[in-house]
Structure 1
Amino acid sequence: MKGESHMYKRPVLITAVSMLSAVCIVLIRKPILFAVPFCLLPFIFYRRKTRSAIALCAVVAASFAAGLLSAHIRLSSYEKIEKELTSTTSSALYGQITGKEITDYGTKMTITLRSQQTKVMAVHDTSLPLGTKVRVTGTPESFSPVRNPGCFDQASYYKGLSVACQIKDADITPSGGTNFPIVQLYYMIMEALWQLKYMIYSVFTAALPNEEGPLLASLTIGTKSLLDSYVKEMFQSAGLSHILAISGLHISITGSLIFKLLKRLGIRTKISAIISSVFVFFFAASISGSVSCRRALVMYLLMMLSKVIGDKIDIVNSLAAVSILICLTDPLAVTQTAFSLSFAAVFLLAQTSIPAADCYRAFCILRWENTHKEIKGNRYKPTALDGLTSSLIFSFFIQLSMAAVNAKFFYSFPLLSFILNIVILPLLPCVLVLGLLGGVLGLFSLPLAKILLFPCHLIMYWYEMASDLFNKLPFTNIVTGDISVLKTVICLAVVLMLSYIFKNMTFKMFKRRFTRIHWQKTSVFPLFGDKATALKVTLLSFTVIIILSFPNHRDEFAFLDVGQGDGLMITTADGKAFMIDGGSTTEKEIGKNVILPSLKYRGITGVEGWFVTHMDEDHVNGLTELINKNYPVNTVFISEHIEEDERLSRLKSLCASHGIKISGLEGGDSLGCRYFKAETIYPDRESEFEGANENSLVNLFTLSPGSDQSIKIIETGDIGGEQELYILEHAKDKLKKSSAEETLILKSAHHGSNYSNCQRWLSEINPDLIVISAGKGNRYGHPGKQTMERINTLGLKSFCTIDTGQVRIQNGRIKKTIAN
């Protein structure tokens, strides 16, 4: 019925919003959220008696205070313990093993410290049982904060999990002590289920070919850490990451299947609800402890409770109740991306996808009733086409509703994945049932398990093939870049407008059912009731897509923090991107972990030109990695005087196989586009130095963003002092500032080596800023002490990526990623 889901009729939701805003004030430090309780006042007093409204105000105020207090206590405790642990070089800790996971590099254990909610993480060769009280000795190491915007923030991720630090070279031994009998029984069950999980994993890998075993294990028993990275990327790019890890989708499917099976066997509703709840509880607890899994588990238990007591509970109220529970018991979890995604998905599903499907069903019923005679017992039954259309509508609107949320966290959204979900999700119950049964059967007979798992093999093959083909289609994944809060709010407001339209139109069609009308196919537009409504829905849907499809490009220089290596990214206001070098000898998969996320964060889908100063691995391996991933690169620029060697031959062959042009540059050459210009300074035809470093490509890059001041950067590769003096004698005038408004940045040569960055070079260039790219604890001692002394003696300003992380220059303003 119309209006039954309005917010003013949901005191639990109002209370949850108040408490959640309070938690966010403490954790993400946004004082503007103090306005939230006041914004809730209209919902509190609308159509509510004064006494009831005042009582609800008191509840909201109390929930807000409780949220502030809970978050403050938890955050203070976490930060205190983290500081104490990471300030020591070695420590002995006492706690209890509350979680463990087998990875490629050992068994990762989560140890909850005594009398605390805070945890530490350690990797060990042996696996002690869950619930064991242990003594952990080793070197505490803090988690790394995000060093490049758009990349993985390790510190925030583990903070959301309440993990204070990781223990390096950990020695874990039992410390003695026993648990309460009920707690001991719980951990005995959990340990048995953990052992069973990895025994089933072994069955899957033995019964299925190649990567299909780990894929099936990830889908059914949650061993995502052992899944091949290529398969992960393929599914994530196709918009199917929600099926890779055990989450609300798996729990709801598993619980529903068990409950329905028990009902089919003639077991009473209350008994069926209790049995399925116990099974789902241990299934969820043994498979995953993620916040999305906990959310789904509690919501499922609330649904079963409603069946036991013979009452009803809707999705939004149960979601609000779970959020209140998490805010009180584990407020740090609110900072997790999984929390935002999981709760947003369920809320938007309830507000948009379900009303859209209900609206279409109301239309189908109205159409059927006005085209069929009234006969007792004759009722509308959905056709196959109706079912397919309803599924498409449901899937499309959940993807559209989540588009802004996905863009905010992942800088892209899967535009067409709703089509893929239609052919993927219906098979998931079959995968879960056959997979679990086959895994258990394989413990006794592997040949019989192979027979039972054969349908899973076909489905896994279909999943992989469909995802791979889907990723090759155009416009499957729209790169948005980092979207603003305003864009997010506008998109979510449009989604809520769609929700109102669907609910309002469903109510109107419900009223029309009681009035016999002459049906004309042109009088009611398919899907949404009438042409005007269909037009509104279409326009609003395109509004969301269009808002998100145009990234906000900026003129920017970004010195990436690549560890021991080099990487400079240049983006222009018209959406073009240029890279200089991009490699590392200390960071693994630098292309995947740093360069690609940094490009995506800026809304870039291809590199116009990639300048390679020379062929050392710490300057070029990111480029080769991206080319192997088929990332669009238009042209690779190298020095005309580069020495021919095996690495250069491999690069040329790789570029040729991917249709990438290679162009040579030497002193005097220049190229550019509307906002960007590159001038090659060195080497030229007269230079006669030998060696890869000595012949590094030296360029002057200029960004001229219209009326704003220009920014110039001198990129020097790994040249030495002799080459610096040569450039001063032959091209000094080109390196001077043309006006006082310009900003001149010098990229320190050879990572700040003592044998580069000579006194005369630094003094005559006289840059506004020197940026040094080096890795922490590198074996070369970069940046050199003598180099830093020269810079300080001349009074020049310098940043090193070891201390600052990525350095960004926009409109003359210099931004460090890590404040110090």
Structure 2
Amino acid sequence: MWIFLLSAIFLACHSYLRWKKRGSVQGIVYAVTFSVIFVLGICHMQNAIKSHQAVESLLEDGEKAAVWGTVSKKEEGAKSTKIYLKHCYLRVEEKQLPCRQILVYLNTDVSVGNIIYVNGTVKTLEPARNEGNFDEKNFYESQGTDFKFYGENVQFISRDTDRFAEFLYQKKREVIQLYQKTMGAETAGVLSTMVLGDRQLLEPEIKSLYQKTGISHILAISGLHVSIIGMGFYKMLQKQRVPLLLRSTLSAVAILVFAVLSGAGVSTKRAVLMFLLLLLGGVIGRSYDSLTGLALAAIFLLWENPFVYAYTGFILSFLAVLGVDASVILLKSMDIQKGIREQICVSGCIQAFTIPVIAYYYFELPTYVIFINLLILPTTGVVLFLGIFGGLLGLLYPVLGFLPLQGAKGMLLLYQSLCRLFLKLPGAVWTTGKPRLQRLIFYYVVLAAILTWLWYGKKPQRKLKTELNNRLENHRLKRIALTLFYLGLLTFSMQKEGKRFQIQVLDVGQGDGIYIESDAGTEIFVDGGSVDVSEVGKYRIQPFLKSHGVKEVDYWFVSHCDADHCNGLMELLEADVPIKHLVFSKYVLRDEAQEELVALAKRKGCQVLYLEEGECFRDASVRIQAMYPSEKSVEGERNADSLVLLLEHEAFRGLLTGDIGQEQEKKFIEAYGNMKIDWYKAAHHGSKTSNSKEFLEVLQPKLATISCGRNNSYGHPGKEAVEHMQDVGAEIFQTTECGQISITQEDGKVCVRRLLKEKGVLGETDEKK
């Protein structure tokens, strides 16, 4: 609901300024008009939410169903073609509902405009399973897609083809192939993304490189492309003395064709809409107001798809334009002349508006972003021009496109070299963690207040008749003061919550991964691997650590060296994530897997420690003691010799059991007898060959967590194991249903929160014991 609150505040402020500028009558008309639009927009969104929920209620992952609709767009993939259906319907059994858009994977050749009926399997959209993870559900819903569908057979209801759209699609494929032949796969992937909005060839390493240095915005089709293509074409016609109406119409057609060719993404639509308003203003003799154009573009996009407000690209696109508008105010109020200072001011204002949102969604910021943008942005237009010009020439005759495309390739390689150079500088990336939303709202409110003060404070300054040197000195002091104030505001807004005791049981699929933070700020991790989630370290563990602002892990405990407990850890070591200490049991099975992990850790500068039974780690807040195995109990088998840890914080006690079985549980009982605990990490992912009734009766846990994969082939958790936990009164939380599970202490009570609320799970997200 915060987006509606901010929109209402913006509407009220904008109406007030309009009233001050135009007078009471126009101000009232403006306020009433946009208030009506605002209310209608909320009603429209509520209807869209209800329709979407009706579709969701019919969806079951893996269920057989049928869909039909009109092919609006298609994208070639490595294994199948992505088809987007509009004016589409879902049929499950006897029920039928209209949908907004369906993403269908097909191996059958279809054309844009065809109406098809497809039988196949539903694939529901996945929410983020852990904090910081990619939220597929949120992303696709913000793009207007209700669900994915894997097609098996296709029937053509109509073979009518949108010849123009299909022609553009085919030409787009030809240009991409030309890029590949002429430039090589690496730079062709970047150029096809920049020019055509096609990301199929974009290598993940290059995408990550651009993101870390803060220039990933050049990959998005946005205002820069529109200004080069639209305004370039307009000015060319203007030089040829083409009449205003005709050149505006031709420019509008050219930019609309480009929008369709590049996939018509959200930022593209925003830029095209604002450009069309600019052309319209010129035709009817009215001046163009960027803020009004931005507001009308937002109304159009939100009406078309009310869920788009949650899309990061939508937010950043609008904030970047606001940053450009803010730079105009700053340039005038500070008397900043054209040149390098003007470029720094514009780039700085764009960053000021976008940095908090980037931190909120990506959890890290490029420190030298202003400087690298100053080096790269002035030449980005040249790269785009060479890519477009070379592509067009290459369509006529491939040899003609060689020189322009080689020029673009050289500049893109230079970009990559600059990015790698900046990343080698100290503190190149600032890991912020996820800032609190309240602080971000405060940040933007203060930023708006500063700009308002500068805007209304500039007029009296113009009337002052002082010496030029005094004016320059005053502006210099004002710039310094404003810069220092802004840096303080940014630091306050990015500040993460203070250190506190917390346990986060991550959903890593069929595996284990547990994060522990102490009040003293010690960062601890236990295990970290999966056998059913690909690249679990890269896509689940590392993003979680970034979202919590974890720059390095102090102690990483490994219960044993099965892949489902350590392959994610190995990924992080390979990616140079700082880990100070790697901790094993003294009696860990030292096989090939363990030796490989130790060798990797030592290469990365990680100190390897071995714990004897009874030895412990402690700081001012927590104590972690090795409880098992001992010299007497060691068996020479990975699971059996799992490291068992006792975690203590004040009166709280938790037991992390690795993958021990019932025989090892008996030995544990013999060694320790009764041991009452609060939290029990279910042994061996809740296997029926572990978690014996006798063991749990000794421990008497108040809550238990089970980490396993959905529909896993091992049968985890076992029915008997779950019953044993229930029999001793433990509240059970399972990652397959809850996603990430958070355990904290509040007012002396143990508080458990689950990230997800799925079908079959109680609705409350807050459980206290």
Normalising by the residue count of structure 1, what TM-score does the alignment of the two structures yield? 0.86
Q: Is 2:112 the partner of 1:167?
A: no
Q: Is 2:526 the partner of 1:580?
A: yes
Superposition pairs of residues 145-544 of structure 1, within 5 angstroms: 145-176=127-158, 178=160, 187-350=162-325, 352-360=326-334, 362-364=335-337, 386-504=338-456, 506-508=458-460, 510-511=462-463, 515=465, 518-520=467-469, 524-525=472-473, 529-544=474-489
Find the counterpart in structure 2 of residue 93 from structure 1.
67
The Cα of 1:207 is off from its aligned counterpart by 1.2
After superposition, the Cα gap between the structure-2 partners of 1:45 and 1:262, relative to the gap in structure 1 and judged at 3 Å, is closer
Superposition pairs of residues 122-137 of structure 1, within 5 angstroms: 122-137=104-119
Q: Deviation digits for residues 160-179 of structure 1, max 9, x if unmatched?
A: 2221111124433322264x
Q: Is 2:581 the partner of 1:618?
A: no
1:543 aligned partner, one-letter code: G
After superposition, the Cα gap between the structure-2 partners of 1:99 and 1:60, relative to the gap in structure 1 and judged at 3 Å, is same
Give the distance between the partners of 2:552 and 2:310, measured in 1 at CA.
Answer: 32
Q: Is the 8 A contact 1:400 1:544 kept in 2?
A: no
Q: Deviation digits for residues 2-23 of structure 1, max 9, x if unmatched?
A: xxxxxxxxxxxxxxxxxxx89x
Structure 1 residue matching 2:492: 3-state secondary structure: helix
Find the counterpart in structure 2 of residue 803 from structure 1.
737
Q: Is 2:580 the partner of 1:634?
A: yes
Q: Deviation digits for residues 43-92 of structure 1, max 9, x if unmatched?
A: 68767766555544543442233112211222222221232344893222
Deviating more after overlay: 32-41 vs 478-487: 32-41
The Cα of 1:573 is off from its aligned counterpart by 4.1
The Cα of 1:625 is off from its aligned counterpart by 0.7
Q: Is the 8 A contact 1:403 1:414 kept in 2?
A: no
The Cα of 1:258 is off from its aligned counterpart by 2.2
Q: Deviation digits for residues 459-501 of structure 1, max 9, x if unmatched?
A: 1111111112222223333222222222102211232233235
Q: Deviation digits for residues 491-544 of structure 1, max 9, x if unmatched?
A: 1123223323543565455445xx5x5433x6523xxx5244224312222123
After superposition, the Cα gap between the structure-2 partners of 1:103 and 1:666, relative to the gap in structure 1 and judged at 3 Å, is farther
How many residue pairs match? The answer is 745
Find the counterpart in structure 1 of residue 546 from structure 2.
600
Q: CA RMSD in A?
A: 2.6
Give the distance between the partners of 2:545 and 2:56, measured in 1 at CA.
Answer: 33
Q: Is the 8 A contact 2:175 2:394 kept in 1?
A: yes
Q: Is 2:658 the partner of 1:717?
A: yes
Give the distance between the partners of 1:272 and 1:681, measured in 2 at CA.
Answer: 80
Find the counterpart in structure 2 of residue 375 from structure 1.
none
Q: Is the 8 A contact 2:55 2:99 kept in 1?
A: no
Find the counterpart in structure 2 of residue 817 from structure 1.
755
After superposition, the Cα gap between the structure-2 partners of 1:151 and 1:694, relative to the gap in structure 1 and judged at 3 Å, is same
Find the counterpart in structure 2 of residue 749 from structure 1.
683
Find the counterpart in structure 2 of residue 736 from structure 1.
676
1:524 aligned partner, one-letter code: L
Structure 2 residue matching 1:723: 3-state secondary structure: helix
Which of 638, 646, 670 lines up with 1:700 in the alignment? 646
Give the distance between the partners of 2:233 and 2:520, measured in 1 at CA.
Answer: 55
Deviating more after overlay: 557-566 vs 598-607: 598-607
The Cα of 1:583 is off from its aligned counterpart by 0.7
Which of 752, 763, 767 lines up with 2:697 in the alignment? 763
Find the counterpart in structure 2 of residue 110 from structure 1.
84
Q: Deviation digits for residues 375-401 of structure 1, max 9, x if unmatched?
A: xxxxxxxxxxx5122111211221122
- In structure 1, stretches of 5+ residues that fail to align are 1-20, 179-183, 365-385, 705-709, 738-743
The Cα of 1:249 is off from its aligned counterpart by 3.1
Q: Is the 8 A contact 1:92 1:137 kept in 2?
A: yes
Q: Deviation digits for residues 204-234 of structure 1, max 9, x if unmatched?
A: 1111135112112111111123311111111
The Cα of 1:287 is off from its aligned counterpart by 0.7
Give the distance between the partners of 2:276 and 2:125, measured in 1 at CA.
Answer: 35
Which of 682, 693, 704 lines up with 2:628 in the alignment? 682
Q: Is 2:726 the partner of 1:792?
A: yes
Q: Percent identity over the alignment?
A: 28
The Cα of 1:283 is off from its aligned counterpart by 0.7
The Cα of 1:562 is off from its aligned counterpart by 0.6
Q: Deviation digits for residues 678-699 of structure 1, max 9, x if unmatched?
A: 2111112222312111111111
After superposition, the Cα gap between the structure-2 partners of 1:468 and 1:60, relative to the gap in structure 1 and judged at 3 Å, is same
Q: Deviation digits for residues 405-446 of structure 1, max 9, x if unmatched?
A: 222222233332011111111111111111122223334544
Give the distance between the partners of 2:330 and 2:706, measured in 1 at CA.
Answer: 55
Q: Deviation digits for residues 654-676 of structure 1, max 9, x if unmatched?
A: 11221111111121111132323
Give the distance between the partners of 1:635 and 1:399, measured in 2 at CA.
Answer: 37
The Cα of 1:309 is off from its aligned counterpart by 2.1
Q: Is the 8 A contact 2:127 2:136 kept in 1?
A: yes
Structure 2 residue matching 1:404: 3-state secondary structure: helix
Structure 2 residue matching 1:284: 3-state secondary structure: helix
Give the distance between the partners of 1:88 and 1:215, measured in 2 at CA.
Answer: 35
Q: Is the 8 A contact 1:246 1:288 kept in 2?
A: no
After superposition, the Cα gap between the structure-2 partners of 1:575 and 1:413, relative to the gap in structure 1 and judged at 3 Å, is farther
Give the distance between the partners of 1:461 and 1:576, measured in 2 at CA.
Answer: 41
Q: Is the 8 A contact 2:220 2:267 kept in 1?
A: no
2:412 aligned partner, one-letter code: M
Structure 1 residue matching 2:158: 3-state secondary structure: coil
Structure 2 residue matching 1:224: 3-state secondary structure: coil
2:626 aligned partner, one-letter code: T
The Cα of 1:107 is off from its aligned counterpart by 1.4
- In structure 2, stretches of 5+ residues that fail to align are 90-97, 762-769
Q: Is the 8 A contact 1:624 1:651 kept in 2?
A: yes
Find the counterpart in structure 2 of residue 772 from structure 1.
706
Q: Is 2:130 the partner of 1:141?
A: no
Find the counterpart in structure 2 of residue 373 from structure 1.
none
Q: Deviation digits for residues 289-331 of structure 1, max 9, x if unmatched?
A: 3222111110111111112223211110100111122233322
The Cα of 1:725 is off from its aligned counterpart by 1.4
Structure 1 residue matching 2:146: 3-state secondary structure: strand
The Cα of 1:132 is off from its aligned counterpart by 1.0
Q: Which has the higher contact order (CA 8 A, sep 6+)?
A: 1
